Amino acid sequence: MPRALICGVTGQDGAYLAQLLLAKGYEVWGTSRDAQVAPVGNLQRLAIAERVRLVSMAPRDFRSVLEAIDRARPDELYNLAGQTSVGLSFEQPAEALESIASSTLNLLEALRFLNRPIRFYNAGSSECFGNTGTTAADEHTPFHPRSPYAVAKSTAHWLVDNYRAAYGLAACTGILFNHESPLRPRRFVTRKIVEAALDIADGDGHKLALGNLEVWRDWGWSPEYVEAMWAMLQADCGEDFVIATGVSHSLRDFVAAVFAELGLDWQDHVLSDPALMRRTDLEYSRGNADKAARLLGWRAQKTMPAVAAAMVSELRAQRLADAASPAHGRPR
């Protein structure tokens, strides 16, 4: 039975990846700063919480990292941990660098020290590219990070590249474009939009305030993107891959699609608030995943309209299930 260790197992991608690996017959371990009080809500949503073995690990403490890897003894290690919010990184830039770049360095050093045949996946980000105009970014597109988060992800990317070349580690980075699901935290704009639209459809008369509606993003579906992560570690040698749908839509389009799923006209319920606009937000983002299609056989199936529809459907069903549970009183 192959064994995997997922750093960040309780997050969106970590939970879906754990589900995928369990279905493939893996023994799955996951890390949390304190395994005894780990927030396992996403794992519970997927009904896999009891099947994931949690181990405590402080990513910025090399000894803790080394002990966690030595205890789990994985064949594959997935680094999905660290700060995940571009907006928050402007408020906490040091945290972004430490939780992403320094933690990645500790993982790489631990792998070098242990000298075991462990395959390593690092979660990169399309934010590293910065503004590329309307060009679809691929593995040869230069990085031009525009946020502390993107700077940290760029640093981690080049650390992986260096350790792969200098020490022969079987390591790769997946440069993932935006990918969503019902497991997205509520602070992320896609989840915020869907939750607000569901509230409004239920009779809540408040307005949804958003920032710049004219940013364009390449939105995919998280459960598909974790399949690409796994496929990268099955390849013969460590390489980096862009993972994207290849289709970009504006935030306005996403909002319209979500509200239309509920029979609503978004223009009646949404306003743009300049206070919510970022100083250096990317205007346009689109990826070219041809290399992943060619070498991994991976292609995105869901583009933005299908992603929006799936999020509305699953979150609405989740609300109904929660309302019908004993903890919320008698079923309606």
Tell me the two tokens of residue 70. 């030595």
d(Cα 108, Cα 65) in Å, to the nearest integer?
Answer: 10
Note the pLDDT of residue 273: 83
Q: Catalytic residue among 26, 78, 121, 149, which?
A: 149
Residues in the chain with pLDDT < 50?
Answer: 330-332
CATH number for the segment(s) 189-217+248-283+303-328: 3.90.25.10
Concerning whether 85 is annotated as a catalytic residue, the answer is no
User: What pLDDT, on a 0 to 100 scale, did the predictor assign at position 215?
Assistant: 93
pLDDT value for 332: 34
Residue 26 annotated as catalytic? no
- The alpha carbon of 69 is separated from its chain's Cα centroid by a whole number of angstroms, namely 22
Q: Residue 54, SS3?
A: strand
> CA distances (Å), 243 to each of 158, 253, 287, 289, in order?
18, 21, 7, 5
pLDDT of residue 324: 83
E strands present in 86-221 = 119-123, 171-176, 179-180, 208-210, 216-217, 220-221
CATH topology of domain 3-180+221-243: Rossmann fold (3.40.50)
pLDDT of 328: 57
pLDDT of residue 279: 65
Q: Does 95 participate in catalysis according to the annotation?
A: no
Q: Which of 76, 127, 180, 224 is catalytic?
A: 127
Q: Which sequence spans correspond to the domains of the chain?
A: 3-180+221-243, 189-217+248-283+303-328
User: What is the Cα–Cα distance from 123 to 119, expressed in whole angstroms?
Assistant: 13
**Marked catalytic residue, from 32, 125, 126, 147:** 125
In whole angstroms, give the CA distance from residue 300 to residue 225: 8
Give residue-wise pLDDT tens across range 143-200: 999 999 999 999 999 999 999 999 999 999 999 999 999 999 988 999 999 999 999 9
